[in-house]
Amino acid sequence: MTAVGAALAGVVAYDLTQRRHAILRNFPVVGHLRYLLEAFGPELRQYIVTGNDEERPFSRNERRWIYSTAKRQDPHFGFGSDVDWSTRPGHVLVKHAAFPGTAPGDAEPAGWPMPCAKVLGGPHGRRRAFRPPSAVNVSGMSFGALSGHAIEAISRGSAAAGCMQNTGEGGLSPHHLHGSDLVFQIGTAYFGCRDARGRFDLGALTALVEEHPLRAIEVKLSQGAKPGVGALLPAAKVTPEIAAARGVPPGVDCHSPAAHTAFHDVPTLMEFVERIADATGLPVGIKSAVGEQGFWEELAARMAREGTGPDHIAIDGGEGGTGAGPLVFTDHVALPFRLGLGRVYPVLAEAGVADRVVVIGAGKLGLPENALLAFAMGCDMVSVGREAMMAVGCIQAQRCHTGRCPTGVATQSPWLQRGLVPERASVRLAAYVAGLRAELLRLARACGVPHPALVGCDRIELLDGEDTVTAAQRFGYRPGWGIPGEADRAALLALMDELARRRPEAEPQTIPTRPGEAPHVP
Ligand SMILES: Cc1cc2nc3c(=O)[nH]c(=O)nc-3n(C[C@H](O)[C@H](O)[C@H](O)COP(=O)(O)O)c2cc1C
Ligand code: SF4
């Protein structure tokens, strides 16, 4: 009995002090059950519960790919595909080239840079325009929705991977300041750049820009998981730290209204964007889910007429994630990503402004096949939200809204956060981002081009019953749509050519952008 007690005490002590597994640090001894179930789960589930492809939002296979990429485990799977193609409408099929691998050098692309195909803010002459060094970046997720430890892990990991981290609408906190380049998001409550009455304050924003490593600004119109509704962070969750990041009083309910007060239609939105870009010199973009079509038509027409407008447009799919959202909005409001982009990109292309703007996609695009389709349909960059959460430890327990996240990712509880060790989790985030880029580069090469932005929409077919349609047919794309214009293509090809000549194990290099801009790429 004493021996059992001593052994248990030993396991408890080990679990509490080890730094590899959040679940064991937070739930000593019982946490091992999860690993046992994980080990035998596939066999059990195959006969009893669910298949590898059934769970949502991310299936077992999808999560397995994210976890193994984050842990740099063997990415290969044996015995062939277990996907039942007959039941998967929309399943992505890539038509590889007969003679792949046009890029010089045969080395594996793991760890290779995959810059954005366009210069962000370049066409609108922004003073601090730059070419984003990574076309895969971390999507907006607020401090408040995520824990300080998770934000710090993402900041450190993004810095190591050479990608950008979007702050989300919850303001800027010390947890964001661990090396990542930041996109500062402005939501309806103007957290971090508001006056005492909660109105937008340009002076507060320019002060923030001067003091912090902000590379771009994003005005959030809506989010796929809850478009058209505001949000409430209950008083109990408004800790002094969160209150400081948001510029609100601690311990008081913190509301985000449904609509902006700084603008109310397309012309005033465009003025708002210009005002911020003029004052800060930074590229300024917008993020929105896709609902009414008239908005995009008016925006594109005005951009074409006036030669101004947002420097990036981030399209968020209705299947996107949130810290907490009303189910009917999560399930029924806004178009899923493919349909949304398939409506918006043609409007930009028709108006002749697709080359003037960096198009960003989000909505389960942290999986290589989905991301490739997004690039083929006109995205220049993809943002990953929940996939980044999984890379730093999330197990899809879907309790984010309760504040009791067992892995310390989406909680403000110091005890639960203790399980997530930022330094360690950051390595996984960096490995995941680099691994996704590597897979995209492999796919692009299989299609005969050196960058996924150069993969055409007719290269991809989507299952449709017993037959397939090309993505171009499915979304009504004209020849040439979805890939960057001639000048951007030539610049990208030259850049990829130069990067491919460098050995993958070479010292971190910088991608040439503009004088004074020197992003770090692993
Ligand atoms: C916990 C959590 C918090 C989020 N917070 C924000 C936010 O503050 N602003 C925003 O624009 N989107 C927010 N999102 C949405 C993501 O940025 C992203 O657009 C969406 O989840 C789709 O990407 P994914 O499928 O890779 O997760 C949040 C998502 C999650 C899961
Ligand atoms: S582990 Fe569960 S509660 Fe925590 S972030 Fe992931 S889904 Fe949310």
Give the pair of three-digit tokens for residue 41.
């789960």
Q: Does residue 368 contact residue 445 with C-beta atoms inside 8 Å?
A: no
pLDDT at 16 over 80: yes
At residue 193, φ and ψ (nearest 5 deg) are -145, 50
Atom of ligand 2 nearest to the CA of 398: 7
Beta carbon of 168 within 6 Å of any ligand 1 atom: yes
Q: Which residues, judged by CB distance below 6 Å to any ligand atom, belong to the binding site of ligand 2?
A: 389, 394-400, 405-407, 409-410
Beta carbon of 417 within 6 Å of any ligand 1 atom: no
Nearest CA to ligand 1 atom 10: 140
Cα 406 to ligand 2 centre (Å) = 7
Beta carbon of 320 within 6 Å of any ligand 1 atom: yes
Beta carbon of 145 within 6 Å of any ligand 1 atom: yes
CA nearest 316: which of 455, 428, 168?
Answer: 168
Question: Can you tell me whether residue 316 is helix, strand or coil?
Answer: strand
Q: Does residue 165 contact residue 153 with C-beta atoms inside 8 Å?
A: no
CA nearest 208: which of 247, 159, 180, 160?
Answer: 247
At residue 313, φ and ψ (nearest 5 deg) are -125, 115
Cα 390 to ligand 2 centre (Å) = 8
Mutate to test the pocket of ligand 1, among 138, 139, 335 (most ligand atoms within 8 A of CB): 139
Name the closest ligand to CA 387.
1
Task: Give the model confidence (pLDDT) of 55-81 as tens digits.
Answer: 789 998 899 999 999 998 876 777 788
Question: What stretches of 312-411 show up as alpha helix (H) in DSSP?
Answer: 327-332, 337-351, 368-376, 386-391
d(CA 91, CA 84) in angstroms, rounded, equals 10
d(CA 105, CA 90) in angstroms, rounded, equals 34
Mutate to test the pocket of ligand 2, among 25, 400, 417 (most ligand atoms within 8 A of CB): 400
Atom of ligand 1 nearest to the CA of 220: 11
CATH topology of domain 136-446: TIM Barrel (3.20.20)
DSSP code for 477: P
Give the pair of three-digit tokens for residue 298.
């008016």
DSSP code for 176: G
d(CA 358, CA 310) in angstroms, rounded, equals 9
Among 247-251, 288-292, 496-500, the least confident range: 496-500
Cα 54 to ligand 1 centre (Å) = 22
CA nearest 76: which of 488, 465, 446, 435?
Answer: 435
Task: Give the model confidence (pLDDT) of 288-301 as tens digits.
Answer: 999 999 999 999 99
Model confidence at 323, in pLDDT bands (50, 70, 90)? confident
Q: What is the pLDDT of residue 109?
A: 55
Residue with tokens 């050196």: 450
Cα 504 to ligand 2 centre (Å) = 35
Atom of ligand 1 nearest to the CA of 316: 19
Beta carbon of 66 within 6 Å of any ligand 1 atom: no
Cα 389 to ligand 2 centre (Å) = 8
DSSP code for 313: E
Task: Give the model confidence (pLDDT) of 119-151 as tens digits.
Answer: 999 999 999 999 999 999 999 999 999 999 999
Cα 107 to ligand 1 centre (Å) = 34
Question: What stretches of 453-518 show up as alpha helix (H) in DSSP?
Answer: 471-475, 486-501
Nearest CA to ligand 2 atom 2: 397
Cα 385 to ligand 2 centre (Å) = 12
For 175: left if phi > 0, alpha if psi spans -120 to 50, otherwise beta; the answer is alpha
Task: Give the model confidence (pLDDT) of 429-446 as tens digits.
Answer: 999 999 999 999 999 999
Cβ-based neighbours of 191, under 8 Å, separated by 6 or more: 142, 169, 170, 171, 245, 246, 247, 248, 256
Question: Can you tell me whether residue 181 is helix, strand or coil?
Answer: strand
d(CA 273, CA 279) in angstroms, rounded, equals 10
Atom of ligand 2 nearest to the CA of 402: 3
CA atoms within 13 A on the CB side of 403: 12
pTM for this one? 0.90
Q: Does residue 151 contact residue 171 with C-beta atoms inside 8 Å?
A: no
Q: 209-224 as b/e, with b when 16 or more CB fall inside 10 Å? A: beeebbbbbbbbbbbb
DSSP code for 140: P
- Residue 100, amino acid: P
Task: Give the model confidence (pLDDT) of 84-115 as tens digits.
Answer: 777 788 999 999 999 886 554 555 555 678 99
Q: Where in the chain is the domain with CATH 3.20.20.70?
A: 136-446
Query: Of all helices (H) and strands (E), which one includes residue 107?
Result: none
Percent of the chain past pLDDT 90, that is, above it, reads: 66
Give the pair of three-digit tokens for residue 239.
């800790």
Q: Cα-atom radius of gyration of the chain, to the nearest Å?
A: 23
Q: How many CB atoms lie within 10 A of CB 35?
A: 12
d(CA 193, CA 417) in angstroms, rounded, equals 28
